Amino acid sequence: MSSDSVDNRLQCPNCGASIRPDQSICPACGAPISPSDMASRSREKASQMIRDANQNLVQAGAGAAESAFGLGCSLGVLLGLALLALIFILGSRNWILLGLVAIGAALFAAGASAIISARAKSATMAGTYARDVEPEIEKTIQSNRFTRQEFDALANEILDKNAPLRRYLSLPPETESANSETQDHEF
């Protein structure tokens, strides 16, 4: 038996034995499994998968953003030092000018690093979604006999309004317009 088939199993509410989603009677104790029990269990499993997938996106994006910001700042400091050395070598001994150049270089490095960090976060989350999250969503939809719309509606109920997984959901029109308005006003 593959690990996928074990992951798709539910538990009998009577004895806790492993049951397939298509079974209506527990093979271990013979207790009837009602459709509402199955629906409730399917919803619980899907809800946990949604939370885990969103957390996976958050962690991937944060790690990429942190690394990119650190790299950008390091390169900015090196370029700033090279610029200061060049100005000093060319004969300018004006400490005020050197200080202003240093401050300008630091601000430029921080700004460029923030832009690079945001792009790295977005690209990493998109890659993580395509590689890890989307196949898991499809597996959850199939094993729990949801439609994509039912899955997206469940995710919409569970997730915070700023959750990264929301970017990949097909939300109802009134929810999409409300989300785009809040995203337009966020800084």
pTM above 0.85, yes or no: no
Residues 6+ apart with CB under 8 A from 31: 12, 13, 14, 15, 25
The yes-or-no verdict on residue 97 having pLDDT over 80 is no
Q: At 9, list the tokens.
A: 């199993």
Torsion sign across C-alpha atoms 160, 161, 166, 171: positive
Angle between helices 35-89 and 148-158 (to 10 degrees): 70
Percent of the chain past pLDDT 90, that is, above it, reads 34
Which range, of 46-55, 160-169, 178-187, averages the lowest pLDDT?
178-187
136-160 pLDDT, tens digit per residue, is 999 988 888 788 998 999 999 999 9
Q: Which helix (H) or strand (E) holds 75?
A: helix 35-89
- For residue 60, pLDDT beyond 90: yes
